[in-house]
Amino acid sequence: MRMKHALIPTLRDVPAEAQIPSHQLLLKAGYIQKVTAGMYTYLPLGKRVLAKVEQIIREEMDAADGQEILMPITQPAELWEESGRWDAYGAEMFRVVDRHGREFCLGPTHEEVVTDVCRQFIKSYKQVPLRLYQIQNKYRDERRPRFGLMRGREFVMKDLYSFDIDEAGLDQAYQDMYQAYNKIFSRCGLTFRPVLADSGQIGGGYTHEFMVLAENGEGTIAYCDSCDYAANIEIAEAKPEACEDKHDAAAVEKIVTPNIATIEDICKFLDDTPQNSIKSVLMRADDELIMVLVRGDREVNDVKVQHVHPCLNIEMADEDFIVEKIGAHPGSLGPVGLKDIPIYADLELENRTGLACGANEDGYHFIHVDMARDLPEVTYHDLRMLNEGEKCPVCSGTIQTARGIEVGQVFKLGTKYSEALGATVLNEEGKATVLQMGCYGIGVSRVLSATVEQHHDDKGIIWPKTLAPYHASLIVVNIKDEAQMAAGEKLYAELQQAGFDILFDDRKERAGVKFNDADLIGLPVRIVCGKKISDGIVEYKYRDSDEVLEVSVDEVVDKIKDFYQD
């Protein structure tokens, strides 16, 4: 492609809302354009990278017996009513109405539609295993679309669905996809880690997320420094840590605690440690109120709470709401004497005595609280966040944490959708059997963001060679210099002939502008026809190195061939 004619609108400044490098650089280097919140146009460079990612995914999905299909984006409400998700999916779903008043959604995912395909055509065990996939736009009206392609409201996803006659078949599909994902993300040049993950609020399932390690990731991974254990922090098991109990048998006492609103304040006031206080958190679980208790020095893990108290949405109650409901501020909450609100406590509080907690009245606390004696109705579960430096739940190693970007997820659905939609087949004995399903997603467009997060410097993007939109930048320093221009044209033709996609900078621009743009755009190789062309020499440089090599014009094609053959 001649840059003279290319739509590559590189920017001098990026909008302030672009906070992280991938968002900034994809805008700045002219890969994407924002249309509205969470919706982007992929400009020519962006589209080319997207196509590279898609191609890698296609190859690996096909190699794992996937068959590509294309389902409609627009899906009828009736299908979602069959699965019970039309109401459950909530505000993230984009809903539309046709001229007859019929309701549809723009697909946020395709379990219903693909199960409908199977129930119509798959009748016998002989027709499975079946693995169907597509690469297509998905629609989710995210609460906080941000970070460019990272969290869009319209984004490109690869979704594969597996259908098997039994759990052994599903296990195989899961393993095959797990391996295919390892290959895909390796081929994309990413440093990533599969981690155990949350299987959703309403039980069931088994799942791993593939996390690209990056500072700006929205997720946190807990992993062990000595064994294979790695999990999303949302589900990472937190074993109770031993702590010295007071064995305090005194009766509960209400004491005056003026202006005390935090665990730190109460500890100071009582000259005690946070291990001897209860952190009481009031949460809204859909339309219900619940209280969650953890040790004073711990944090509540919402996802774990949702597993114990199944609900679609969970959040901490806000201050105004707490004052209205309880008559006290959040810092004065406590479980003692609380009526009609289910209370769940973390395992670390079980059998503890001599604890302090709020009295649901500003300016007062209870002390000498004995969990078993004073709060007999409370149930105990793992409800807290695991912290860096704690013991691994599996071995005796130490837990480390890292930030990550979820680029893919593999999930055993079991019979959730096949049962609801009646996707049954006859087994070998001629008996109707519900199909076992799995679903496997990759955030194709998010891979672009994740890659740039991992591969950039202060000058721009540094594409891994498998994803670069072109193989090399070819720059003519001075287009008015006939020898330089002729050599550039010749190389451009030869490189294309040899099968390379070249971005040929033949613009009437200053050399500095051309070099800066090349660094910003981030192609793996830069070839420059400059003054030394009179000696038959061009400059040859890799984007990830500072070394500028002088190479004979005749050797360029072989050199780039070697590089891309590796």
Residues that bind ligand ATP (CB under 6 A): 109, 140, 142, 151-152, 155, 157, 406-409, 441, 443, 445-446
Q: Which one, of 280, 246, 250, lies nearest residue 263 by Cα?
A: 280
Both ends of the chain: CA-CA distance in Å? 24
Report the 3 state secondary structure along 521-536.
Answer: HCCCEEEEECHHHHHC
Q: How far is 311 from 383, CA to CA, in rounded Å?
A: 15
CB of 59 to ligand ATP, least distance (A): 19
Closest listed residue to residue 409, CA positions, set 160, 235, 213: 160
- Residue with smaller CB distance to ligand ATP, 180 or 322: 180
Which is closer to ligand ATP, CB of 235 or CB of 528? 235
- Give min distance, CB of 192 to ligand ATP, in A: 11
If the CB atoms of residues 446 and 471 are measured against ligand ATP, the closer one turns out to be: 446
If the CB atoms of residues 164 and 406 are measured against ligand ATP, the closer one turns out to be: 406
Shorter beta-carbon distance to ligand ATP: residue 155 or 515: 155
CB of 233 to ligand ATP, least distance (A): 13
Q: Which residue is nearest to ligand ATP (CB)?
A: 443
Helix (H) or strand (E) holding 450: helix 444-454
User: Least distance to ligand ATP from the beta carbon of 214, Å?
Assistant: 13
CB 312 to ligand ATP: min, Å = 14
Q: Do 360 and 289 touch, CB atoms closer than 8 A? A: no
In whole angstroms, the minimum distance from the beta carbon of 449 to ligand ATP comes to 8
Nearer to ligand ATP, 185 or 504 (CB): 185
- Per the rule left: phi > 0, alpha: psi between -120 and 50, beta: everything else, 150 is alpha
Residues in contact with 257: Cβ distance below 8 Å, sequence separation at least 6, in sequence order: 265, 266, 269, 363, 364, 365
User: Distance between CA atoms of 475 and 530, rounded to whole angstroms?
Assistant: 8
Q: Which of 80, 69, 75 is nearest to 118 (CA)?
A: 69
Q: Is the dihedral of CA 182, 188, 189, 193 positive or negative?
A: negative
One-letter amino acid of 323: V
Judged by CB, which is closer to ligand ATP: 411, or 470?
Answer: 411
CB of 152 to ligand ATP, least distance (A): 4
Helix axis angle for 556-565 and 482-497, nearest 10°, is: 40
Task: Give the integer Cα–Cα distance in Å for 141 and 127.
Answer: 37
Closer of 30 and 441 to ligand ATP (Cβ): 441
Q: Which is nearer to ligand ATP, 344 or 440 (CB)?
A: 440
Tokens for 405, please give them: 């970007």
Shortest distance, CB of residue 155 to ligand ATP, whole angstroms?
Answer: 4
Neighbours of 327 (CB within 10 A): 11
Cβ neighbours of residue 35 under 8 Å, at least 6 residues apart? 41
Q: Nearest distance from residue 191's CB to ligand ATP, in Å?
A: 16
- HSE-CB of 304 using CA atoms within 13 angstroms: 24
